[in-house]
Amino acid sequence: MEPFSELGATENSHLGSVSEPTYFISLPKNIASYSLTSQAILEELRVRHRRLEMHGSAEITPTLFLTLDLIPELLSKQVHLTDSHRSVSAIKEALKELAGLTEHNKEPVVYFYPFILQVDQKLIFRVSMISPQINEKTDIVPFRRSCFKYSIDLVDVLLKNRSNQNLILDDENPGANLTRADQKGNVYFFPTKLSFESELESIVRKSMEPYGPLPVKDFILDVITRGKEMANLVEIVPGYHFVLPSGSHHPEYAKHLAVQLDGLKQYAFPFLKRYANEYHYESYIEKLNGLESKLPIQTEELIKQGPLLLQEVTEILGNFPFEKLSGEESKRVQNGIQESLIILQKLSRFLLEQEKEDAEDELFSLIQLLSTKIEENTKNTLTLTKLNLYAEIKTLNLKSDSEKKKVIETIVKTLSDTYGCLEMKEENFHVLFALDQKYLSKVEENTFKLAKTNPEFRNELPILDQIRIILKNRSDVSIDKEESITETKTEEETDPISQTKSEPRISFSALQEKFHVPIGVFSFLFLSSIVTVVSLLSGSLDYIGSGFFISFFVGLVLGYLYRKDDKPKQSFEKQKPTIPKENRILSIAKVAEVFIYPKKFNSIAEKVYDSKRLRNHIEECVEDIKLQLPSADQKKDTNKIVAEIEHAILQISVVMKIPEAIQLKNRSKELILSKADFRTILFRTQLAEYYRKEASLYKSDRDQMDYLQFIIRELEFGYNKYLK
């Protein structure tokens, strides 16, 4: 029979049993009480730590420690040891002695702590052994910190890899692994057996074969702490965490709940039936049998029906009169049942919260779809978009009328805040007329034309009037924005020198081409002065009039003769029009938006970028984006097109800068989000809620809280400045 684990606390029958780490290890008090194998290992550890101390390195590297896998090689060099002292059983017993797990040696004199290596794309665990034997007591915190620091990047890889794996259960009785019998036939129940702690323990145990298990509680605790810091783990109860899978967590909670129910059924029901028979609780036996018949054996059915049966399970099992029983077994059974019921209640609460989040995500996706429908229909047909809300929400599979009413109210409010909308409803009729107000005048004009031949469109004319009133009352700045932009474009395209409209019609440079102004003026003034002086000296003014005329004529001739022959080049002939370039950027943005800001997503955090993540994501999608761009762009250098896509995406994005005073080393300095998403209340609310949940993990970290609270405030109150 496999012995119970000494690695961590995943098989302990009490919640929160992951104990606080031991911070000191002591020198062996009576070295003679240890086996020769143990003494040989201790001597090697003493020598290695002495070398490490003499090396004088400020950084402790775990690869310098003795590791479990090197012990056979070490002992093979010890000539004074017999083959029996080098055997697997002797090494296994020696390690238990050193870990303080034997009857005669209960104080640990060696500290075991794993670290992780990556070999050929695989994660390999090595268990380091630490026992300086220099001082009477040695603080192990620096060693522990060094080993975990060495492994921290690979711990993140481990958590990420695990999040991409689905939890696979047996087709029947998925909770069978939660129970185990010892050599005496006593059955034990481990409700936390499905936790990540237990999974991690199993991985580390394999790295100890054939010498384990050995205590590595600190390592398990450190990995769990890291996972919670990085929001990769969810805590059901202390000592029971599981890795959050990519996408919806709903199936994961449901699977854990099914396993817990089945395990509880297999463990508790036989004991409770026996106790009830002994004490003649016939009515209780009847209830228990009825509940047992309702609990499915098939895993798939248990996942579906489990949450519905949870209240009945809690009432029946939780009300058994254990206070009337005595003995160690009944106490153990009571503790196991109570522990499992607590876990079930927590799982049920998480499942309900996840179902709510999934429903919100589905609603958000629907609103995004309707927004696209409104924009495309308005632009392409220049008519009102008629949304039958009862038909649109069928995909959400809502059950109650109150849920349907609440969802429709959310859709109407969100779309009405963004577009021009008018709601019409009766008992079995609920329609939303909507349009993209950037085309309002064009829609009105087109609908008026269509109304001349189609009576259906005549009914839409008063609706358009009401929508215009609604938009004007809220001072909507987007009314006919597209029309004004189009008019500006038309003017600029038809007038290639529109940039010079403010200049005089006859400029000085144009005049210089036909007449040299300075020479003409100077000649006129010079000759006029001579004529005036001669007239004054001769005492006759008769020549002044004719002299001025001759001076003007001579100046005119000289100015014409000395005109500029080299005509300046017209700069506008070689200027590239700016508007087509802007159109090209917008077209790239439209193509790339589908990949960068997809309508469907697993987590709302996927739609939040910083500059580095945005660049990386564009590089991942660039080949797919290029396929939808014009052939000229497809032939461009990849780095160049990546830069153009990044520039284009930023034109349709909101960039939220984090103030320098609250920036953190491992956090983004800015958030990049879709401007279209950011305009909607639902997106901002969901994103704020996401960061609020993350903030709940950092209540004791002031810096993290300041960082996250700034983002939440901007999303809920300061969003207007990003939309200007």
Which of 259-263, 524-528, 677-681 is the most confident on average? 259-263
**Mean pLDDT on 533-541:** 68
Position 167 scores a pLDDT of 87
Whole-model pTM? 0.63
Lowest mean pLDDT among 174-178, 225-229, 419-423: 225-229
Return d(Cα 203, Cα 219) in angstroms, integer: 12
Does one domain contain both 395 and 514?
no
Does one domain contain both 594 and 715?
yes
Lowest mean pLDDT among 431-435, 499-503, 658-662: 499-503
Position 580 scores a pLDDT of 55
Is the residue at 148 inside a domain? no
Does one domain contain both 553 and 586?
no
Is the residue at 33 inside a domain? no
Number of domains observed in the structure of the chain: 3
Is the residue at 453 inside a domain? yes
Q: Is the pLDDT of residue 202 over 90?
A: yes
Does one domain contain both 544 and 608?
no
Q: Is the pLDDT of residue 219 over 90?
A: yes
Position 634 scores a pLDDT of 75
Tally the residues of the chain.
724
* pLDDT tens for each residue of 1-54: 333 344 554 444 434 333 444 578 888 888 888 999 999 999 999 888 888 777
Does one domain contain both 528 and 651?
no
**Which band of pLDDT confidence, cut at 50, 70 and 90, is reported for residue 348?**
very high
**Mean pLDDT on 265-287:** 92
Is the residue at 170 inside a domain? no
Does one domain contain both 590 and 553?
no
**Which band of pLDDT confidence, cut at 50, 70 and 90, is reported for residue 247?**
low
164-173 long-range contacts (CB < 8 A, ≥24 apart) are 164/245, 164/246, 165/245, 166/245, 166/251, 167/245, 167/252, 167/255, 167/256, 169/255, 169/258, 169/259, 169/299, 170/299, 171/298, 171/299, 171/300, 172/297, 172/298, 172/299, 173/262, 173/266, 173/297, 173/299
**Mean pLDDT on 93-99:** 93
**Mean pLDDT on 712-718:** 84
Task: For the chain, report the end-to-end CA distance as a whole number of angstroms.
Answer: 71
Q: Is the pLDDT of residue 545 over 80?
A: no
Position 262 scores a pLDDT of 95
**Type of residue numbered 391:** A
**Mean pLDDT on 252-276:** 93
Q: Is the pLDDT of residue 285 over 70?
A: yes
* pLDDT tens for each residue of 384-400: 999 999 999 988 888 88
Q: Is the pLDDT of residue 414 over 80?
A: yes
Is the residue at 13 inside a domain? no
**Which band of pLDDT confidence, cut at 50, 70 and 90, is reported for residue 592?**
confident
> Of 497, 529, 562, which closes a domain?
562
Q: Residue 38 in contact with residue 120, Cβ under 8 Å?
A: no
Position 573 scores a pLDDT of 39
Does one domain contain both 618 and 717?
yes
Return d(Cα 133, Cα 46) in angstroms, integer: 6
Q: What percent of the chain has pLDDT over 70?
A: 85
Which of 71-85, 506-520, 627-641, 706-720 is the most confident on average? 71-85
**Mean pLDDT on 143-147:** 89
* pLDDT tens for each residue of 619-676: 888 888 888 888 777 777 888 888 889 988 998 999 999 988 888 877 888 999 998 8
Q: Is the pLDDT of residue 505 over 50?
A: no
Is the residue at 227 inside a domain? no
Does one domain contain both 402 and 533?
no
Position 72 scores a pLDDT of 93
Return d(Cα 724, Cα 712) in angstroms, integer: 19
Q: Is the pLDDT of residue 280 over 70?
A: yes
**Which band of pLDDT confidence, cut at 50, 70 and 90, is reported for residue 562?**
low
Position 185 scores a pLDDT of 86
Q: Is the pLDDT of residue 103 over 70?
A: yes
Position 62 scores a pLDDT of 84
Is the residue at 220 inside a domain? no
Residue 427 domain boundaries: 382-474
Position 542 scores a pLDDT of 64
Does one domain contain both 529 and 615?
no
Mean pLDDT of the chain: 82
Q: Is the pLDDT of residue 579 over 80?
A: no
Return d(Cα 463, Cα 30) in angstroms, integer: 95
Does one domain contain both 611 and 693?
yes
Q: What percent of the chain has pLDDT over 90?
A: 39
Enclosing H/E stretch for 424:
strand 420-425
Is the residue at 321 inside a domain? no
Does one domain contain both 429 and 557?
no
Does one domain contain both 545 and 422?
no
Position 566 scores a pLDDT of 46
